[in-house]
Structure 1
Amino acid sequence: MPEITQAPEATPSPVFILDPQANRTRDEDVDLSHTVGKMPTWQTVQQSVGTRSGWLGDYDYGFLCMPTLPGFTVTRIPPFFGLKDRLPLVLAIIMGFQHALAMIAGVVTPAIIMSGTGDHGLNVPDKMRSQMVSTSLITSGLLSFVQITRFRIAKTPYFVGTGLLSVVGTSFIFLPVLQSSVANMYASGFCKSTVDAAGIRSYLPCPDAWGAFLGTCMVCSVLPIILSFLPPRVLKKVFPPIVTGVTVMLIGVHLVTSGMSQWGGGSGPCKSNPTTGPFVNCPSNSAPRAAPWGDAQWIGLGFLVFSVIMIVEFFGSPFMKNAQVVIGLIVGMVVSVALGYTNSASIDAAPTVTFLWLQTYRLSIYPPAIIPLLITYTLAMVESIGDITASCEVSKLSVEGREFESRLQGGILADGIAGVLAPLCMNSPMSCYAQNNGIISLTRCANTMAGYMCCIFLILMGVFSKFGALFLMVPDPVLGGMTTFLFASVVVSGIRILSFLPWTRRERFIVASALTLGMGTALVPGVLTHMFHYSGTNAFVLSLINTANIVLDTGFALGAIISCVLNALLPANPPMSSEPIIDRHGPVPSNKDIEDMQVEAQSIHESMLNEKTHH
């Protein structure tokens, strides 16, 4: 590897400070008015748009575009831009566009998967799917604006939003709950399906399932709203790293299986490799260049995307590395179009311009999904603590004290409110995104102006719905090559949390017990859902059975429950001698070593989602 050397940190040229108090980190500071968003003054506007320095500044723009080449030595680093430092407009636009590119794949992928085919998707037509993608982008931009701006609740000490460059997007962790719920809806007759003469089951569109899921999410979002007023240390004590690590890992395992299904050709009826009927080939016999599930051409398309992501990581510039997933998707899309794997039906069905509520769904409550969603919301809340902590770290703000705790409270409350507003916008719940912290760290720009530009780009991409429809034109294997990589990073995040545990017999037992059923149901879906047999018509009993089936078919819910219970019931490790014991496996850590590792594990837990986890 070429040696990378860094010169002493450059001192930025004097800049106009929008709010000189914005970067204060004194623990004794109880006046938090400086953390709330403020309207720019006329003087600020004049200096930004009326001068050359306001547009360009003296930033080294070549840094963002310089590729990583063998033997190349990095000798310079860009200046750091704090929360309220004045950012040149051109740089703000570039940084905002970069944040938007890093978010696009994560924002639109859940909508594409949720609206897809098979017993785990809604099977809705292209027009509805296009609207769902556009709605995700618009909602993400609007709710990110709330997080970044930060509002005080009347004259209380409570806030909504973090006041950081903290964006939100559709969370991946809600995907398993929806998929299990939809599968149960088709099995129970809530959603309709048909069986042809060859025994192949076809699933009819079920938009009411989407409305039921959204309505249930709104009800369950009351939990994070209430818990946002508790001290963050209480939440971290109830959900320690051993619980969140197992849960995040199991979410990733479930999602990887979904991504690999798409990589093989799709998650629809063709996945079962039928020998007769319209789904012998994927996605159907009538599709362009159709082929059986698992065919080499499907594997090759997905591997192309995966390979491009790897190449960009090795040789790409900082700008390209932050958008590597989107670049891989674009290359896969171009190749698919050139080779005739696509058709323009989704683009033709999408209007030129759209907005929220042009397609609505009948909101209702689906009781069997309540318990899994409560678990999911709780986990999302714990994730947000890690995300916001990481955002403060990369923004060079304190991660302790009154101001930090206030930002945590505001961020969690904003996520809880987003759990109400996003379903009202006909979109899945949203929460803080973590991957943008990597962009802040690399570009050294934590300025909220870049966040506002990101919001604008997301809203524009959603309003012009032809853009969102492009993602629906992508063949499933191309999307699978991208999403499997994203989902695998969720698994890595869970492993990273667990890797810093002391790993005594107690920890090994808890993790193994949680993975026994959690990973088993993730890898063999439906294995535990055939135990209950009831032929009556009692609505309460049927609801209990459906609830149990959804929990038993959601691996991360089982893992979270088992790890929480065992962590609470199993006695703590007995005190150990201060002298290390040597055996054939090497030295056993002392009691002090274990305490040090536990402190380090808690630190890692607080910043666990510096890498992609939603999502």
Structure 2
Amino acid sequence: MSSPSFQKTQPGSIDHSSPNALESQVATDKSSLHKRISSAKRKVTTKDGWFGDYDYAWLCIPPLPFGGKAPRRLPPFYSLDADLPLVLAFSSGLQHALAMLAGLITPPIIFASTLNLDSATSAYMISASLIGCGILSLVQISRIPLLGGYYLGTGLISVVGTSFATLSTANAIFDAMYRDGTCSSIVGSDGSVVRNACPDAYGKVLDVPCLHPPRVLKRIFPPLVTGTVVLLIGASLIGSSGVPNWGGGSNNCQTAPTGIFALCPSTLAPRPLPWGSPEFIGLGFLSFISIVLTELFGSPFLKNISIIVGLAVGCIVSGAAGYIDGSSISSAPAITFLWVHTFKISVYPPAILPISLAMEAIGDITASAECSRVDVRGIEFDSRVQGGVLSDGLGGFLSALFTVTPLSIFAQNNGVIAMTRCANRSAGRWCCAFLILFGILGKISGVFLAIPNPVIGGVTTFLFASVAVSGIRVLSLMEFTRRDRFVLAAALSFGIGDLLVPKIFTELFNGVNNPSTGLEGLLTSITIILSTPFLAAGIVAVIMNLVLPQEHDTQEENSDDIESSLDEQKEVAA
């Protein structure tokens, strides 16, 4: 007796073996279209569709500092695909965009300052970064199904941005380019070195995207490695950019105070002062303390954009005191888009290996999933990781075409999800729209470029310290066995050593006579890695984690077995 056979039909396909299949499919499609039209009409024409039952007073009104009233009921949680009111989608999207803004504009501002680029090019870099982030974030949020059960994107509000890992590595690459003559410098009579503008260096950093297999990443980059790397990324950026800008500038006014850089940010500024002047320190501290006060007394909406509040307060005071040069605003175009400026894209071989060491994506996806109340275990979550990593690889390629440094998953908006209790993808799409709009309005980039260095420094020091704290949080989730402590100590030996004595490895291969082009590129790449704290520590952590055998505590294993057995008994009893 033969068993009956069944024909598999893909979802959404038409079974032509049935005579009424086509009519049935057409009726289903019409019904689905009618439902979507009715839903859209209800959302636009009804009060519930516009406002829902969300507590907007809780979102916008700050609590009394010493009020004795009982806390108000929290608003409902909106999941990924819940029916979201239009006003809440709009306001949550704006919060996401504003919460990300400082992190998105910081890398291009620092790149432009390091390479001494003119204000028009610098403003374009900010606009291109915002537009590129908006477009590629939309891909991450959409979670597009592909062949073979694969996806493109996480399906979460996983926005993208220039990773601070790229920022830290790129600074080391730029230093190497100026040392080996790829970018030119001027040596003064007193021996000081002033860097010339080098836009081609930015083009060489654009052309180094990479694709990371998720299974390999999970094995090679466990929390022990990623936590160490993120901690040192934040710490190194505080020392290389945050605090130097707080003092007046991280450019030549700090390292070579001669000529136009005898004062900070330069002698051409409206009110130039020596690096570390009390006026500069005060401006940076004002921005810093504004962030703290917003956290203490602000509403949930303001707390999510405390970095923007710090920038705004610092700009108001510094503008009134005459520290702002408005030339970047007046010279910026009203409307701009991608490819208004272009960069000569080429490969700088020593840059390929360091940039390929991106170690943050899985941790950021996990954090976004936890905030969104999505299970971080199982096949569905693995598919989100796969989609996010694949989208990261595609984003690295497309960002180069967008004239933007490699963009990867960004976790700075997770606090907005947790605070507003809104993980809905509609809010994420509004966020993308706002980012693209901010980028197209060229005057906004001019405003960002006019922010004085001390204000940028006070805000970014806090921002980079938050990155370091994220690394500490990842490390705190470990068990800290003897093996884990050993691996961490070995990694931090190199990382903290580089951080405190940054030039120890720069002369390592100076004794090599007449190296070939390939060997010279390899030696330069090794120098970049050893001179970058998070890269050196990350590689040591990866090697030690793979080489040292895992420790197994028999007592803990027996305890886990007992707990799992009890759980099974409870399930059976239920």
- Segment of structure 1 superposing worse, 398-407 or 409-418: 398-407
Structure 2 counterpart of 1:549: 527
TM-score scaled by length of structure 1:
0.82
1:42 alignment partner in structure 2: 37
In structure 1, C-alpha distance between the alignment counterparts of 2:206 and 2:457, rounded to whole Å: 25
> Tell me, what secondary structure is at the counterpart of 1:431?
strand
SS in structure 1 at match of 2:259: coil
Q: Give 1:63's match in structure 2, choosing from 37, 48, 58.
A: 58
- Residues 273 and 293 of structure 1 are in contact (CA less than 8 Å); yes or no, is this contact kept in structure 2? no
Is the counterpart of residue 484 in structure 1 residue 461 in structure 2? yes
> Residue in 2 aligned with 1:197?
189
Q: How many residue pairs were aligned?
A: 530
CA deviation after TM superposition for structure 1 residue 471, in Å? 1.1
1:405-460 Cα offsets, whole Å, 9 max, x none, are 22221111111111111111000111222232221122111111111111111111
Structure-1 residue corresponding to 2:111: 114
137, 148, 160: which one aligns with 2:141? 148
Provide, for residues 479-505 of structure 1, a one-character-per-residue CA deviation record: whole Å limited to 9, x for no partner.
Answer: 010111111111111122223333344
The one-letter code of the counterpart of 2:251 is G
**2:233 is matched with which residue: 235, 251, 255?**
251
Select which of 247, 250, 260 maps to 1:267: 250
SS in structure 2 of the partner of residue 547 of structure 1: helix
Structure 2 CA distance for partners of 1:161 and 1:503, relative to 1, 3 Å: closer
1:325 and 2:312 are equivalent in the alignment: no
* Aligned counterparts of 2:559 and 2:60: Cα–Cα separation in 1: 44
* Local SS of the residue matching 2:183: coil
Quick check: 1:139 aligned with 2:122? Answer: no
Q: Is the 8 A contact 1:164 1:392 kept in 2?
A: yes
CA distance in 2, matches of 1:523, 1:169: 28
The CA distance in 1 between the partners of 2:282 and 2:316, in whole Å, is 14
Query: What is the distance in 2 between the residues matched to 1:236 and 1:470?
Result: 41
Task: Tell me how far apart the structure 1 counterparts of residues 471 and 155 of structure 2 sit (CA, whole Å).
Answer: 27
Corresponding position of 2:273: 291
- CA deviation string 1:508-538 (max 9, x = no partner): 3222221112121123222211021234262
- Cα 1:591/1:80, change in 2 over 3 Å: closer
SS at match of 1:41: helix
For the residue of structure 2 that corresponds to 1:416, the secondary structure is helix
SS at match of 1:375: coil
- Of stretches 176-185 and 390-399 in structure 1, the one that deviates more from structure 2 is 390-399
Which 10-residue stretch deviates more, 312-321 or 409-418?
A: 409-418
Pick aligned residue for 2:350 from 357, 368, 387: 368
CA contact (8 A) 1:398 1:404 kept: yes
Spell out the pairing of 1:510-549 with structure 2 (5 A cutoff): 510-533=487-510, 534-536=512-514, 538-549=516-527
More divergent stretch after superposition (249-258 vs 124-133): 249-258
Task: Give, in whole Å, the separation in 1 of the partners of 2:550 and 2:163.
Answer: 34
CA 1:574/1:89 → structure 2, altered by over 3 Å: closer, same or farther?
closer
Matches of 2:517 and 2:550, distance apart in 1: 43
CA contact (8 A) 1:198 1:277 kept: no
- Is 1:52 matched with 2:29? no
C-alpha distance in 2, partners of 1:595/1:240? 24
- Residue type matched to 1:509 in 2? F
Offset of residue 32 of structure 1:
9.5
Counterpart position of 1:166? 158
1:285 deviation in Å?
Answer: 2.1
Give SS of 1:194's match: strand
How large is the Cα RMSD of the aligned pairs? 2.3
Give deviations 1:261-301, integer Å, cap 9, x for gaps.
Answer: 11111111111363x53322111123222111111111111
Within 1, Cα distance between the matches of 2:176 and 2:543? 26
Distance in 2 of aligned mates of 1:427 and 1:593:
51
Choose 291-300 or 164-173, whichever is displaced more.
164-173
Mapping of residues 298-337 of structure 1, within 5 Å: 298-337=280-319
1:199 Cα offset (Å):
2.8
Letter in 2 for 1:165: I
- The whole-number CA distance in structure 1 between the counterparts of 2:531 and 2:471 is 20
SS at structure 2 position matched to 1:202: strand
Cα–Cα, structure 1 residues 343 and 570, in superposed 2: closer, same or farther, change >3 Å? same
Q: What letter is aligned with 2:301?
A: F
**Following the alignment from structure 1 to structure 2, what is the Cα–Cα distance between the partners of residues 148 and 242?**
28
- 1:558 is matched with which residue? 536
| Residue of 408, 428, 432 corresponding to 1:455 | 432
User: In the aligned structure 2, how far is the partner of 1:132 from the partner of 1:489?
Assistant: 24
Unaligned runs of 5+ in 2: 1-8, 13-31, 563-574
Which of 332, 336, 343 aligns to 2:325? It is: 343
Deviation at 1:209, TM superposition (A): 0.5
The residue aligned with 1:607 is none
C-alpha displacement at 1:478, in angstroms?
A: 0.5
Alpha-carbon distance in structure 1 between the residues aligned to 2:424 and 2:100: 17
1:402 corresponds, among 379, 383, 393, to 379
Deviation at 1:43, TM superposition (A): 2.2
The 1-side partners of 2:232 and 2:468 are apart by 7
Q: 1:208 and 1:561 mapped to 2: Cα distance?
A: 29
SS in structure 2 at match of 1:354: coil
Structure 1 partner of 2:203: 211
Deviation at 1:594, TM superposition (A): 11
Q: Which residue of 1 aligns with 2:18?
A: none
In 2, Cα distance between equivalents of 1:574 and 1:400: 23
Residue identity opposite 1:556 in structure 2 = F
Residue 330 of structure 2 corresponds to residue 358 of structure 1: no
Flag the 1:149–1:505 CA change in 2: closer, same or farther, 3 A: closer
The C-alpha deviation readout for 1:167-194, integer Å capped at 9, x for no partner, is 2222111011110111000010000111
Change (3 A) 1:171 1:338: same
SS of residue in 1 equivalent to 2:84? coil
